[in-house]
A = this chain, B = another copy of it.
Amino acid sequence: MKLRVVLVEPRYEGNVGAVARSMKNFGFNDLVLVRPCDIGSFGMAMAAHAKDILQSAKSVDRLEDALEGVNLIVGTTGKRLSRDHHHLRLHLRVPFLTPSELAERLRDKDGTVALLLGREDWGLTNDELMACDVLVSIPTSDEYPVMNLSHAATVLLYELGQVDSTLEIRLAGRDMLERIYESTDHLLRIINYPEHKIRYVVLMLRRIFGRAELTEREANTLLGVIKKAIWKVEGEEDQAPSE
């Protein structure tokens, strides 16, 4: 999927710059502006290291020109539109996708998707929304549903960004984990932990370390600590005159 971000009549240059920055943060670069405000030094400053995206953004007069070569048009709209403007309801009472649902649907799809974001005050007009194939809405609080333009864009770009999040951290192997549990069992016995509770404690640790997803390094260190404790306890016992 290729994504084109289309800002329709943005009024504040700071928002346009901020959207460009967010696009670059999530690996996108195709920005088209429909009848935008002037973009000056503040807009450029907000773009930070994404000035290249802002500078290469195309400005067009008509929305249609922004949609050239697009396979799917996604419109963004705030919750409020589904409650107010009753005469619009007929068109707008269609299932909105959440950003994550949209991402799920676009995964592994080929083609160019245009993501339309409207004016800071009004969003997209009725006509513009009707031209969209899919509507997406970010779930927000009823008390204050209206997001800043670049914030809304950021949430959508975050969901649509296919950035690889895999981190090269080696998780501990099962055999290492089993050795930790066996050693813990042993340690509990020699510190006279109540016999009938030992099984429960080991199971609890299994759960805790399971949730934590121990790395190889952490598991190694833990095993070292437990063995050192065992050694200490058993070593002292050998030296003690009597138990």
Chain A interface residues (CB < 8 Å from chain B): 18, 21-22, 24-27, 46, 48-50, 82, 93-96, 98-99, 138-141, 143-148, 150-151, 154-155, 158, 161-165, 167, 169, 187-188, 190-193, 200-201, 204, 207-209, 211-215, 217-218, 221-222, 225, 228-229, 231-233, 236-237, 239-242
Contact = CB atoms under 8 A, between A and B. Distances in A.
A22 B148 contact: yes
A115 B204 CA distance: 27
A155 B140 CA distance: 12
A14 to B, nearest CB: 8
Contact of A27 (B141, B158, B232): B141
Contacts of A49: 144, 146
Nearest to A147: B25
B95 A165 contact: no
B18 A141 contact: no
| 5 closest Cβ pairs, A-B complex | A139-B165, A236-B236, A212-B212, A191-B232, A27-B141
A77 B175 CA distance: 32
What number of copies of this chain does the assembly contain?
A: 2
B213 A24 contact: no
A242 B239 CA distance: 8
5 contacts: A22-B148, A140-B161, A141-B163, A193-B228, A236-B237
Contacts of A163: 139-141
B229 A191 contact: yes
Contacts of A214: 208
A145 B24 CA distance: 8
A150 to B, nearest CB: 7
Given A143-B24, A169-B94, A208 B212 contact: yes
Contacts of A21: 144, 147-148, 151
Contact of A167 (B82, B204, B240): B82
